[in-house]
Structure 1
Amino acid sequence: MKRMLINATQQEELRVALVDGQRLYDLDIESPGHEQKKANIYKGKITRIEPSLEAAFVDYGAERHGFLPLKEIAREYFPSNYNAHGRPNIKDVLREGQEVIVQIDKEERGNKGAALTTFISLAGSYLVLMPNNPRAGGISRRIEGDDRTELKEALASLELPDGMGLIVRTAGVGKSAEALQWDLGFRLKHWEAIQKAAESRPAPFPDPPGKQRYRTCLP
């Protein structure tokens, strides 16, 4: 049975969770008076590389620099002549002063900066576009049976550029291939606008070039 759980016991934070039985599939955290930055996109600059943490720190315009783990660095930021032998060394992958487009994965907590990723996700009405993550994608695990089969057929007909990934959200159930392609077209234009904005200005951006907020979707 699907339920909505609301926790408003703390004045500084409101939590809304959607559960199906014992499984959490949607979580939204609101902090009144505090601007939510999760999923916002920024152009940042690498300020420090910490091999012991397998991570880099990124100045993206906030007071605290963001934390970018090695596993969240897309291959496009690796040197063109990089040859991987086993697990990459972050010092061989990034350099201080390098500019990257990042997305807030987790909000700042206490004295810790935000957790960042370079694997961008652009959420639409029916789809989530991952423009630099071709390995990701598919159909939400909450979609089953005939709905899943129909969406697989619709997905196969979509015009998705090489090197990109795509997830169909539950809202995409029952939508035609034309409707899905329409939503995809808007996400592609959004990504193009982000890239153009990033090319036009040096990092860090004080405000995100592609600002968006959406609920955390757990496929």
Structure 2
Amino acid sequence: MNSEILVNVTPMETRVAIVENGAVQEVYIERSQNRGIVGNIYRGKVVRVLPGMQAAFVDIGLERAAFIHASDIDISHPRLHDEHQTSENKNVPPIFQLVREGEPITVQVIKDPIGTKGARLTTQLSIPSRYLVYVPDSDHIGVSQRIEGDSERERLRELVNSCKDDVGIEKGGFILRTAAESIGEAEIRKDMDYLRRLWRVLEERIKSEKAPQIVYEDLPLHLRITRDLIRADVDKIRIDSRENFQNTLDFVRKYTPEVEPILEYYPGERPVFDLFNVEEDIRRALSRKVDLKSGGYLIIDQTEAMTTIDVNTGAFVGHRNLEETIFKTNLESVTAIVRQLRMRNLGGIIIIDFIDMEDTEHQRQVLRMLEKLLEKDHAKTKVTGVSELGLVEMTRKRTRESLEQMLTEYCQVCDGRGRIKTAQTVCYEIFREILREARAYDTKSYMVLAAQAVVDRLLDEESAAVADLEEFIRKPIHFRVEPMYSQEQFDVVLQ
């Protein structure tokens, strides 16, 4: 599989597209005015403790207070040694034993603010480098699940253990990242030394900074990709900004020199995103409907609670029989679904309504293909299988806003419903409003101000109803088009 990473930089925002086999699979956007804060470490202040929710709100200097659950607080908290614990709260102690209002607390952001919700926090700090993640409050040495060989996993654990004392790291644990597969002792030592020096600086800041204050800020997007998104199959990283290319090159030479050969400045006349039609793919990713090559299509609806994906055969009629047509459509839709999950960065609960398959072997093949394609996803996913209703239920870890949340806002006309009242419905609302006004006030006539479509219907299809209403209230009714009104807006003016 051939992969490229395209980096488009402007003063306002940085956009990154991951292209696999010529097709865009993921898009990351970071705007200068509201950068993502996942990974940032803050010296915060507890502003409210909620025992009923086992959680607390923490002021970290943002517009909205951030949220921390008791399960995300390190249970080795010193206060727990002083207070009585029952067997019921042994695993997750009551929140009031862990934090108190007004006290400072060092936290790390694990989920960006999304919608009306504040950032999600943890006290279990971690600092990433190219191959390792340093966890100061743990002695555990973990290995990425994507590194599958048992012998390789054991080799890496032994390598980290042997290097810890030599580098001078007395406490803390490590997680070996996917990029660490097959690396040697020199790379591990270099990463450990970097993390040791960084953590000492952060320790001093944590002791000296007053809450709320940022202690550590993660790298900007164009540098993060060289640390987090590079895999063995990435052939090229193209950056269209000379300044940011040089900035990235300096960073790579210092911390990830193995990335330098694939780094390339792109000076072309065509925008770098036009090389693989990225702009068009972003536009399509904001649509409800996704067309399949066979003629079938997906309908994707994103809500606050979950995302639903409905698979339809559409114009695809197949060649053999109905069951074969359904199976082929479902199989084709899997590739499109996984791509859309990554492109749109859909997270949380996801319900997929494949077309009903009677053949259990067909169900198994579709499910297996879904799980196989999800292995390429950077986000953690879990598929629970086919439910009794024939739905596939899955979860995908959400740490940042989806593409839709980042690039769009609720429609002011429909208030986010996605639908508006028909002209006929608005006409009947106008009739009821006129009747209310006629009972309450004495006037010579009425003027209705409404959108073009509504006035057209009042003068055409509803003209007989208007005449009956005029006869009933014994007053004339006049109409005027207001070009700035939405279809649901209207006013009834007494004259």
Q: What TM-score, normalized to structure 2?
A: 0.37
Give the 3 Å change call, closer, same or farther, for CA 45–152 of structure 1 in structure 2. Answer: same
Retained in 2: the 8 A contact 1:157–1:177?
Answer: no
Report the count of equivalent residues. Answer: 205
* Alignment partner, residue 47 of structure 1: 47
Give distance in 2, aligned partners of 1:218 and 1:157. 31
One-letter code aligned to 1:30: I
One-letter code aligned to 2:55: A
* Alignment partner, residue 202 of structure 2: 194
Q: What TM-score, normalized to structure 1?
A: 0.79
Measured after TM superposition, the shift of residue 171 of structure 1 is 1.6
Give distance in 1, aligned partners of 2:2 and 2:62. 38
* Alignment partner, residue 212 of structure 2: 204
Measured after TM superposition, the shift of residue 159 of structure 1 is 1.2
List aligned pairs for 1:9-28, cutoff 5 A.
Answer: none
List aligned pairs for 1:76-87, cutoff 5 A.
Answer: 76-79=76-79, 80-85=81-86, 86-87=88-89
Retained in 1: the 8 A contact 2:45–2:58?
Answer: yes
One-letter code aligned to 1:94: V
The one of 182, 189, 193 aligned to 2:190: 182
Gaps of 5+ in 2: 7-12, 21-25, 230-377, 381-495
Q: Give per-residue Cα distances to partners, 1:34-54, cap 9 Å, x unaligned.
A: 311111111101111001111
Give the 3 Å change call, closer, same or farther, for CA 2–165 of structure 1 in structure 2. Answer: farther
* Alignment partner, residue 368 of structure 2: none
One-letter code aligned to 1:211: E
Measured after TM superposition, the shift of residue 162 of structure 1 is 5.5
Retained in 1: the 8 A contact 2:135–2:173?
Answer: yes
Measured after TM superposition, the shift of residue 13 of structure 1 is 11
Which structure would you say has the larger Rg?
Answer: 2
Q: Give per-residue Cα distances to partners, 1:69-101, cap 9 Å, x unaligned.
A: 101111354414134323211112211111111
Give distance in 1, aligned partners of 2:19 and 2:97. 42
One-letter code aligned to 1:32: R
Gaps of 5+ in 1: 7-11, 20-26
Higher relative strand content:
1
Give the 3 Å change call, closer, same or farther, for CA 157–76 of structure 1 in structure 2. Answer: same
* Alignment partner, residue 75 of structure 1: 75
List aligned pairs for 1:102-141, cutoff 5 A.
Answer: 102-135=107-140, 137-141=141-145
Measured after TM superposition, the shift of residue 185 of structure 1 is 1.9
* Alignment partner, residue 65 of structure 1: 65
Structure 1 stretch 47-56 or stretch 70-79: which is displaced more?
70-79
* Alignment partner, residue 23 of structure 1: none
Retained in 2: the 8 A contact 1:45–1:203?
Answer: yes
Identity of aligned residues (%): 29
One-letter code aligned to 1:55: A
One-letter code aligned to 2:146: R
Higher relative contact order (CA 8 A, sep 6+): 1
* Alignment partner, residue 156 of structure 1: 161
Higher relative helix content:
2
Let me know the Cα RMSD of the aligned residues. 3.2
One-letter code aligned to 2:109: I
One-letter code aligned to 2:202: I
